[in-house]
């Protein structure tokens, strides 16, 4: 079945068993490499040829380092030698993600699992390799689409709030116009403006700044941007989101705000977390509007491992019929909007390692939504290496 070429043995295809084995290896969807104790390649199937860009005839007999990036290749022989000397397994029998090197020099991700076999010719190691590029590309595309959907949900929320925001903007703009008209009228009448004009212009400037602040906050909320996570305290994000949500609200509603002192920081994308809060507060206001004395409660607290935000209302609660589809996209019964709010909110929470759950209430109790976000590792007194980096792209 085998013949020796120099010091390297190979499968002999001119036997029935050899031809059968080669056929099996070459029809395998995954790459299969077999090496000996010295790291020399004995088997390199067709999937490997396609994956690495090397023909088998070129690599058979060479050290397996030929398909490894430099950082792996430098230590590979020592890994094999250490295992043979000590028997300590670092990769054998354990699947892991590594990197391979294509014939053109491109480095790409691989999933590798390694097995071991004792043969008459000595110990051999069998590597099963799967090219992760298609999966990585799919994950990247999914992340891009998810980011688009999250952005679309923010735009939809502002669209639904459009009339209220327009009303809120109209107030400072109207005041600004009245102040300027007053100066114009006084000037036309020949009134000495040296005393009062400064006062009026200060008030006009204040109204212009107020309008600009509203527009800036809306722009920050809806602008398209890559999600970036930062270490932030939750309470300021909550208060800022409440202020944005209440722009132009005509409901007379009592808002109870409760904060637990000394809450640890969380690693979050601030805009995305405020997106959740805006959605929860808007929903609570709409539900509470059905009560005789509308009221909502917004509370922050902590557990051993998470910072919590609870938003509850004194409305009628969530009906059992609506509950199963509550977090499904496009399942809203509202006349306006796309029904993305709660679905996107839960997705954002889970992508941050937390969750969004609901107590539906009923029987005289309103609903209560609870957002949980994991406490940053250093805030629990553990090593920062266990918790990731404080800044970086969000997934």
The whole-chain average pLDDT of the chain stands at 79
Please state the pTM of the whole predicted model: 0.56
Q: Is the pLDDT of residue 1 over 80?
A: no
Q: Tell me what pLDDT residue 383 has.
A: 35
Token pair 């002192």 in the structure block, residue: 261
Domain ranges of the chain: 2-131, 141-393
User: In this predicted model, what pLDDT tens digit does every residue of 204-249 receive, in sequence order?
Assistant: 888 888 777 777 777 777 776 677 899 999 999 999 888 888 876 6
Token digits for 387? 């918790």
Q: Tell me what pLDDT residue 85 has.
A: 65
Q: What is the mean pLDDT of residues 189-205?
A: 75
Q: How far apart are CA 314 and CA 372, in angstroms?
A: 22
Per the rule left: phi > 0, alpha: psi between -120 and 50, beta: everything else, 212 is alpha
Q: Is the pLDDT of residue 329 over 90?
A: no
Longest dimension (CA), the chain: 113
Instruction: Say which residue, 334 or 324, is predicted with more confidence.
Output: 324
Q: How far apart are CA 373 and CA 378, in angstroms?
A: 15
User: In this predicted model, what pLDDT tens digit does every residue of 22-65 receive, in sequence order?
Assistant: 666 777 888 999 988 888 999 899 999 999 999 999 999 998 98
Q: How far apart are CA 267 and CA 352, in angstroms?
A: 8
**The most confident of 104-113, 144-153, 163-172, 200-209, by mean pLDDT:** 104-113
User: What band does 153 get if pLDDT is binned at 50, 70 and 90?
Assistant: confident
Q: What is the mean pLDDT of residues 289-316?
A: 93
User: In this predicted model, what pLDDT tens digit does every residue of 119-151 receive, in sequence order?
Assistant: 877 788 888 999 998 888 887 787 767 777 777
Given 3-state DSSP classes, what are the helix, strand and coil percentages for the chain, each rounded to the nearest 5?
A: 45, 25, 30
Q: For residue 264, which phi and psi values (nearest 5 degrees)?
A: -70, 165
Q: Tell me what pLDDT residue 235 has.
A: 95
Q: What is the mean pLDDT of residues 54-81?
A: 81
Q: Do residues 335 and 286 lie in contact, with contact meaning Cβ atoms separated by under 8 Å?
A: no
Q: DSSP of 369-383, one letter per residue?
A: EEEEEEBPGGGGTS-
pLDDT above 90 covers a percentage of the chain that reads 29
Q: What is the mean pLDDT of residues 173-202?
A: 76
* H or E segment and range at residue 257: strand 254-259
Q: Do residues 267 and 376 lie in contact, with contact meaning Cβ atoms separated by under 8 Å?
A: yes
Nearest to 79 by CA among 147, 125, 12: 125
Q: Tell me what pLDDT residue 246 has.
A: 82
Q: Is the pLDDT of residue 78 over 70?
A: no
Instruction: Say which residue, 335 or 88, is predicted with more confidence.
Output: 88
User: Angle at the Cα of 60 (from 57 to 63), degrees rounded to 5?
Assistant: 140
Q: Tell me what pLDDT residue 164 has.
A: 65
Q: How far is CA 297 from CA 13, 123, 254, 319, 369, in A?
A: 76, 68, 8, 20, 11
| Weakest-pLDDT range from 67-76, 155-164, 317-326, 370-379 | 155-164
Q: Tell me what pLDDT residue 114 has.
A: 87
Instruction: Say which residue, 261 or 343, is predicted with more confidence.
Output: 261
Burial (CB count within 10 angstroms: exposed 0-12, middle 13-18, buried 19+), residue 224: exposed
Q: Give the β-pairing of 31-36 and 122-131.
A: antiparallel
User: Angle at the Cα of 348 (from 346 to 354), degrees rounded to 5?
Assistant: 75
The 3-state DSSP class for residue 144 equals helix
Neighbouring C-alpha atoms within 13 Å toward the C-beta of 188: 6
User: What band does 117 get if pLDDT is binned at 50, 70 and 90?
Assistant: confident
- Partners of residue 202 on adjacent β-strands: none
Q: For residue 103, which phi and psi values (nearest 5 degrees)?
A: -60, -30
Q: Give the β-pairing of 355-359 and 368-374.
A: antiparallel
Q: Tell me what pLDDT residue 232 has.
A: 93
Homologous superfamily (CATH) for 2-131: PAS domain (3.30.450.20)
User: Which CATH number describes the domain made up of 141-393?
Assistant: 3.30.565.10
Q: Do residues 343 and 328 lie in contact, with contact meaning Cβ atoms separated by under 8 Å?
A: yes
Q: Tell me what pLDDT residue 249 has.
A: 64
Q: What is the mean pLDDT of residues 176-189?
A: 78
């Amino acid at each position: 079945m085998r013949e020796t070429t120099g010091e390297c043995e190979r499968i002999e295809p001119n036997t029935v068993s050899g031809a059968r084995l080669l056929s099996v290896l070459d029809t395998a969807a995954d790459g299969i490499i077999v090496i000996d104790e010295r790291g020399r390649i004995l088997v390199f199937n067709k999937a490997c040829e396609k994956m690495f860009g090397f023909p088998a005839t070129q690599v058979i007999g060479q050290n397996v380092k030929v398909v490894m990036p430099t950082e792996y290749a430098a230590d590979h022989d020592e890994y094999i030698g250490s295992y043979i000397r000590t028997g300590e397994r670092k990769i054998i029998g354990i699947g892991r993600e590594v990197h391979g090197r294509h014939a053109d020099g491109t480095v790409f991700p691989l999933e590798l699992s390694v097995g071991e076999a004792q043969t008459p010719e000595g110990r051999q190691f069998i590597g099963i390799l799967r090219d992760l590029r298609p999966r990585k590309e799919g994950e990247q595309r999914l992340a891009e689409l998810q980011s688009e959907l999250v952005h679309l949900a923010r735009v939809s929320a502002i669209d639904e709030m459009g009339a209220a925001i327009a009303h809120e903007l109209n107030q400072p703009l109207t005041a600004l116009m009245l102040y300027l008209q007053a100066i114009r009228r006084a000037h036309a009448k020949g009134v000495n403006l040296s005393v009062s004009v400064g006062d009026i212009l200060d008030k006009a400037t204040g109204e212009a700044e107020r309008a600009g602040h509203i527009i800036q906050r809306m722009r920050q909320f809806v602008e398209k941007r890559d999600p970036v996570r930062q270490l932030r305290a939750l309470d300021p994000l909550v208060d800022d989101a409440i202020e944005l949500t209440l722009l132009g609200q005509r409901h007379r509603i009592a808002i109870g705000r409760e904060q637990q002192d000394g809450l640890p920081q969380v690693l979050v994308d601030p805009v995305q977390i405020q997106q959740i809060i805006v959605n929860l507060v808007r929903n609570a206001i709409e539900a509470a509007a059905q009560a005789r004395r509308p009221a909502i409660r917004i509370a922050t607290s902590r557990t051993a491992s998470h910072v919590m935000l609870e938003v509850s209302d004194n409305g009628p609660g969530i009906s059992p019929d609506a509950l199963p589809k509550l977090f499904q996209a496009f399942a809203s019964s509202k006349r306006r909007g796309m029904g993305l709010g709660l679905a996107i909110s839960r997705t954002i929470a889970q992508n941050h390692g937390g969750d969004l759950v609901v107590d539906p209430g009923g029987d005289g109790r309103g609903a209560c939504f609870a957002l949980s976000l994991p406490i940053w590792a250093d805030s629990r007194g553990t090593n920062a290496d266990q918790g990731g980096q404080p800044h970086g792209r969000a997934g």
